[in-house]
């Protein structure tokens, strides 16, 4: 009789063990049978909760261990299952787990949850070591572990006009594969990721957000992605878009002129309307501090600086402004204003007059400063030493009344401004004239604010008539001198009446000195005036001697009219003398009032003519028919 193979004997033992179990003899039969046949074979299978995971993510590995054959119906594997990760670079122990105790008639299970699977394609192996009744076995499963990129580092969020430019650095570790794209997130609340506003492909690391509103603060972060995973969000940066400030103007000049410098510039680019310009000035190069010198309206691109003084050099920059604020400074330009000079040399004229020399002059230029006074120099020879005879004269004219009649004198004049005295004028010469046979001269200087009158000058005419003249004046604003000359030839041409020579000349620098000139005729001359002209007490008439003034009577003085340069409100009788009438109420020459008397012999008759003249220089001489 043949002996049965060992495998058959083992199965038979197991059947006997099973039968013993049924009979309540399991405790004694199973060990005996197992020991007689050797460890029962097992099968181990392994399952993963995910076949593809992200590195660091948890995965549950479940090993199922089963005893094979009929013995598997009665025996359960026991002990621990070891879990290993196998990659191309080696094997890594993940951990171990014990098989469950209640697995009769079902596979026994051991589960391990781990987050330490290495990156890459991993073969996870579950190894059952076996026990005294069951043999060892193992099973495996494949898991792909992908590594995401590290978070990018956001480096800038730069605000502009209705835009924000975001910049970042690439992740220091791209993960399982190269970074292929970036997602840009935006929020209006710090610390919140917000929503995706855009995505760009690597390797670009900047993004311009043009969907923003000026005045709002936005918070930005970036997420990098490789072929399989996305990185954590980057750090967060904020920006507040606003209208951009203007660029820098381009400055040119300055153009130098007397006491001023003119600069100009080209308007810069600006994302919004330029609202104006600020002009800065310094007296040293490169100064960028201090308040602006002036503000210039938008649309104006020049500025004239009239607060400069030569020989100082001035440095200018200009800044444009808009609703966003002030832009960059322009380039710097500099210049020196043209300095003022002394006045130009005057042109002098000397005019001979009865008893005086009339001098007048004017400068061709003021030198850039107002002429404040004039000076007059005199010499007895053209090339001799010139002596200053008048200084601080307010006008360029002078009535020379202090020289002897008939002697020629030479004059030079200058003008004075705040810079200094001008070069001397040309040389002009003349002499004071006298009527032939003049018998009397009287010259009197009068100071401001002092009542003053000349001594009465009188003389006998060629016909034996006696005449006299006198000037009375008071000025509060200037000085004057007056010269009276009586005598000379008989003047004809006024009908049949001869008139004795008479001259009254005055130089007046005041603005309020009305002169009262009294001319007296005596004897036959007075009687002839009375008879021929019907001149008597209270008579009013016009002198008519070519003087540019007009005056009224003592009771009705004339008033200067700046509109036409004449005097108004003359005595009515002057209107009857058409030769001197200009327009209604305007007359070109002085008028007079008279007195005549007393009755009796002609030799005792006296005719007094009283003239009133307005302020200014002037001269009357002789007489004329009215």
Cα Rg of the chain, angstroms: 63
Predicted local distance difference test score (pLDDT) of residue 377: 96
Contact at 8 Å (CB) between 519 and 626? no
Cα separation values, 383 from 347, 411, 414, 424, 426, Å: 18, 11, 17, 13, 12
Domain boundary among 278, 305, 335: 335
CA–CA separation, 134 and 77 (whole Å): 6
**What's the CA gap between 503 and 21, in Å, rounded?**
175
Q: Are residues 456 and 398 in the same domain?
A: no
- Residue closest to 220 by CA, chosen among 186, 244, 268: 186
- Residue 395 and residue 354 share a domain: yes
The answer to whether position 626 is within a domain reads: no
Tell me, yes or no, whether 20 lies in a domain: no
Q: For the chain, what is the domain count? A: 5
Q: Do 425 and 506 share a structural domain?
A: no
The answer on 126 and 70 residing in a single domain is yes
Instruction: Give the pLDDT of residue 500.
Output: 46
Ranges under pLDDT 70 in the chain: 1-37, 71-74, 354-355, 401, 404-405, 433-517, 529, 532-535, 538-593, 611-626
| DSSP at 40 | B
DSSP state of 354: B
Q: Are residues 142 and 158 in the same domain?
A: no
| pLDDT at residue 520 in the model | 75
Is there a domain that residue 360 lies in? Answer: yes
Considering the domain boundaries, does residue 13 fall inside one?
A: no
Question: Is the domain of 377 the same as that of 500?
Answer: no
Same domain, 563 and 608: yes
Q: Are residues 413 and 388 in the same domain?
A: yes
Report if residue 2 sits inside a domain.
no
> How many Cβ atoms from other residues are within 10 Å of residue 67's Cβ?
24
Q: From its phi and psi, is residue 569 left (phi > 0), alpha (psi between -120 and 50) or beta?
A: left
Q: What is the pTM of this model?
A: 0.41
- Mark which of 402, 431, 460 sits at the end of a domain: 431
481 burial level (CB within 10 Å; 0-12, 13-18, 19+): buried
What CATH number has the domain bearing residue 292?
2.60.40.10
Q: Is residue 478 part of a domain?
A: yes
602 located within any domain: yes
Q: Do 190 and 215 belong to one domain?
A: yes
Instruction: Indicate the residue among 146, 180, 215 that finishes a domain.
Output: 146
Q: Does 117 share its domain with 43?
A: yes
- 412 with 460, same domain: the answer is no
Reply yes or no: is the peptide bond before residue 528 cis, omega within 30 of 0. Answer: no
Residues 350 and 419 in one domain: yes
Q: Which residue range forms the structural domain that includes residue 279?
A: 250-335
Task: Evaluate whether residue 11 is within a structural domain.
Answer: no
Which residue, among 174, 157, 173, has the nearest Cα to 165 in the 3D structure? 157
Cβ(363)–Cβ(415) under 8 Å? yes
């Amino acid at each position: 009789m043949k002996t049965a193979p060992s495998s058959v004997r083992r199965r038979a033992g197991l059947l006997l063990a099973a039968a013993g179990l049924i009979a309540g003899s399991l405790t004694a039969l199973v060990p005996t049978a197992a020991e007689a046949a050797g460890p029962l074979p097992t099968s181990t299978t392994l399952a993963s909760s995910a076949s593809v995971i992200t590195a660091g993510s948890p995965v549950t590995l479940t090993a199922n261990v089963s005893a094979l054959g009929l013995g598997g119906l009665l025996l359960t594997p026991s002990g621990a299952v070891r879990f290993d990760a196998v990659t191309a670079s080696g094997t890594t122990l993940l951990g171990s787990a014990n098989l469950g105790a209640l697995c009769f008639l079902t596979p026994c299970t051991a589960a391990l949850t781990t987050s330490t699977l290495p990156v890459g394609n991993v073969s996870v192996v579950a190894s059952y070591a076996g026990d005294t009744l069951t043999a060892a076995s193992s099973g495996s499963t494949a898991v792909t572990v992908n590594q995401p990129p590290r978070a990018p580092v956001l480096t800038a969020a730069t605000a502009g006009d209705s835009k924000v430019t975001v910049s970042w650095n690439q992740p220091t570790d791209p993960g399982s594969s190269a970074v292929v794209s970036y997602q840009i997130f935006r929020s209006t609340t710090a610390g919140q990721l917000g929503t995706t506003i855009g995505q760009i492909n690597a390797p670009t690391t900047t993004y311009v957000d043009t969907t923003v509103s000026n005045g709002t603060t936005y918070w930005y972060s970036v997420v990098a992605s490789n072929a399989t995973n996305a990185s954590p969000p980057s750090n967060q940066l904020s920006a507040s878009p606003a209208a951009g400030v203007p660029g820098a103007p381009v400055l040119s000049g300055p153009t130098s002129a007397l006491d001023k410098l003119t600069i100009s510039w080209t308007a810069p680019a600006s994302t919004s309307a330029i609202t104006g310009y600020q002009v800065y000035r310094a007296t040293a190069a490169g100064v960028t501090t201090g308040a602006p010198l002036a503000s210039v309206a938008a649309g104006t691109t020049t500025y004239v600086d009239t607060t400069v003084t030569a020989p100082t050099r001035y440095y200018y920059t200009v800044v444009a402004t808009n609703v966003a604020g002030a832009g960059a400074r322009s380039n710097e330009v500099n210049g020196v204003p043209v300095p003022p000079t002394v006045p130009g040399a005057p042109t002098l004229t000397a005019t001979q007059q009865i008893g005086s020399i009339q001098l007048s002059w004017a400068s061709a230029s003021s030198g850039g400063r107002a002429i404040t006074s004039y000076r007059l120099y005199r010499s007895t020879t053209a090339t001799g030493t010139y002596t200053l005879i008048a200084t601080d004269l307010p006008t360029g004219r002078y009535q020379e009344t202090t020289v002897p009649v008939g002697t020629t004198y030479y004059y030079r004049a200058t003008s004075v401004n705040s810079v200094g005295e001008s070069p001397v004028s040309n040389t002009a010469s003349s002499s004071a004239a006298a009527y032939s046979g003049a018998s009397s001269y009287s010259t009197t200087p009068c100071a401001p604010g002092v009542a003053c009158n000349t001594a009465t000058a009188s003389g006998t005419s060629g016909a034996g008539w006696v005449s006299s003249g006198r000037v009375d004046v008071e000025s509060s604003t200037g000085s004057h001198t007056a010269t009276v000359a009586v005598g000379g030839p008989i003047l004809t041409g006024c009908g049949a009446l001869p008139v004795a020579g008479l001259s009254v000349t005055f130089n007046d620098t005041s603005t309020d000195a009305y002169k009262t000139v009294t001319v007296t005729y005596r004897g036959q001359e007075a009687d002839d005036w009375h008879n021929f002209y019907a001149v008597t007490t209270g008579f009013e008439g016009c002198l008519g001697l070519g003087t540019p003034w007009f005056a009224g009577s003592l009771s009705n003085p004339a008033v200067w009219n700046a509109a036409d340069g004449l005097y108004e409100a003359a005595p009515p009788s002057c209107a009857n003398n058409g030769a001197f009438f200009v327009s209604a109420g305007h007359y070109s020459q002085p008028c007079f009032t008279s007195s005549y008397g007393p009755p009796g012999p002609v030799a005792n008759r006296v005719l007094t003519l009283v003239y009133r003249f307005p302020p200014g220089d002037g001269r009357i001489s002789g007489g004329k028919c009215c």
